[in-house]
Structure 1
Amino acid sequence: MANLVGTALMNLLYRSPFNPKSTDNPDDALVDLVEGPDALPRRRALDLGCGHGRHSIYLARQGWDVTGIDIVGHAVATARAKAAEAGVSPRLIAGDVTELTQLGVTGGHSLIVDAGCFHGLPSRIRQRYVTAVTGAASPGATLLMLGLARHPVIKGVTADELRQRFRGWELVRAVSVAGDEMLRYGDGSPLLRRAFEKGWFDPWRYQLRRA
């Protein structure tokens, strides 16, 4: 099961002023994948680190079969309430994203969304995440990841690390995300807002494809 110390740390970070308060707006890149000119077929999606459910709810509204997972229990409870209010029923689970099999999450997911989960994992369990995600992904699946390259507390994530860790995946795209775009997805303390405006955290969006 999830390490108790790690779970406690994630709960503290979730309430930290350095953690953006999520809005209900889906990321632009996800909207493009789902509604754009080259939209993906509506199949099964996995939302890792789903938080308050903005992406799980959005995908469910678009007709996807969605499972959202977050280790922070009160965030999942909020996501469930928001989903009910929106009239959709994504499967929302409080649990460890590195233990998908134990949570009953099997393969066949053609879209996997990670908007700030992997970049907060300690190094010692990152390969477990890769193994779990690869097992849950269908051939040709898309992994859309948003992560910070710099942060005062968490490790962050870079394109070089993804290339090294995600064997059997292709890094299709790595794009720097401007601060004004990040601020549309979440807000927080004045210090955090200034950090995003100045680009201090160096946010990036990565798109990977499973071979």
Structure 2
Amino acid sequence: MTSLATRAIVNLLYKSPFNPKSSDGPDDAVRDLVEGPRALGPGRALDLGCGHGRHALYLARHGWDVTGVDLVRDAVDTARDRVAAAGATARLVQGDVTELDDLAVPGGQDLIIDAGCFHGLPARMRDRYVPGVTSRAKPGALLLMLALAQHPVLKGVREDEIRARFQGWEVVSAQSLAGREMLRYGTGSKLLRTAFEKGWFDPWRYLLRRKQGA
């Protein structure tokens, strides 16, 4: 179970000026997977750290069976309101992404999105995150992850750790998002914008594929 200290820190970060205010639309990489030249057909999707639901809503609008999970109740409430207002359907759960069994999150996922969740977890929670996510992914499923390599508060994660932890997955691509490109996915305080412009957080996007038979 998530400690009270961890819950308090996550809630403070969510409401702080250093938390990016996400755009309403999906990241380009998500849009490419859903609408690009090699688009996936609609299936089952899991949005980890779903925030106010921009990816969950986008996927639901494109025919996906979506489950979103976030620890912050305010974020989940906002996501539910947005999905309802759009006349869409998505299952949005307030809870810990490392406790998917307790949250009854279904398996057979075709696409898993983590747009800034894993990189903030302490090591003990990462130990639970990986098997929980892996057990819910179909063979051949994709995991799209946006992660910062460094942060003044969060733990951060680098490619070598991604490869070491996700043994049942193939790293299809690892792309640096340093510089102004990060500003396309949200806004925030002046200091945060400067940090993104200068690439201080060393942001990366990873695309992983669940190995067959692993």
TM-score, length of structure 2 as denominator length: 0.96
3-state SS of paired residue (1:102): coil
**Structure 2 Cα separation of the partners of residues 186 and 86 of structure 1:** 21
Deviates further, 13-22 or 26-35: 13-22
Tell me which residue corresponds to 1:30: 30
Alpha carbons 2:114, 2:146 under 8 Å: kept: yes
Q: Identity of aligned pairs, percent?
A: 68
Q: Which runs of 5+ in 1 are unaligned?
A: none
Alpha carbons 2:178, 2:198 under 8 Å: kept: no
The AA in structure 1 aligned to 2:114 is: D
Pairing of 1:106-117 with structure 2 (within 5 A): 106-117=106-117
Deviations 1:74-114 (A, max 9, x none): 00000111111111111000000001111011210010000
Pairing of 1:128-167 with structure 2 (within 5 A): 128-167=128-167
Pairing of 1:38-49 with structure 2 (within 5 A): 38-49=38-49
Tell me which residue corresponds to 2:2: 2
Shift of 1:178: 3.8
Deviations 1:117-154 (A, max 9, x none): 00010112101000110011111110000011111100
**Structure 1 Cα separation of the partners of residues 147 and 18 of structure 2:** 14
TM-score, length of structure 1 as denominator length: 0.98
Query: Is the aligned partner of 1:62 residue 2:62?
Result: yes
Alpha carbons 1:106, 1:135 under 8 Å: kept: no
Tell me which residue corresponds to 2:169: 169
Structural RMSD (CA): 0.9
The AA in structure 2 aligned to 1:71 is: L
**Structure 1 Cα separation of the partners of residues 11 and 58 of structure 2:** 24
**Structure 2 Cα separation of the partners of residues 83 and 106 of structure 1:** 20
Structure 1 segments (4+ residues) deviating >4 Å: none
Shift of 1:168: 1.1
Tell me which residue corresponds to 2:18: 18
3-state SS of paired residue (2:77): helix
The AA in structure 2 aligned to 1:90 is: A
Equivalent pairs, count: 211
Q: Which runs of 5+ in 2 are unaligned?
A: none
Deviations 1:35-92 (A, max 9, x none): 0111112100000000000000000011100000000000000011111111111100
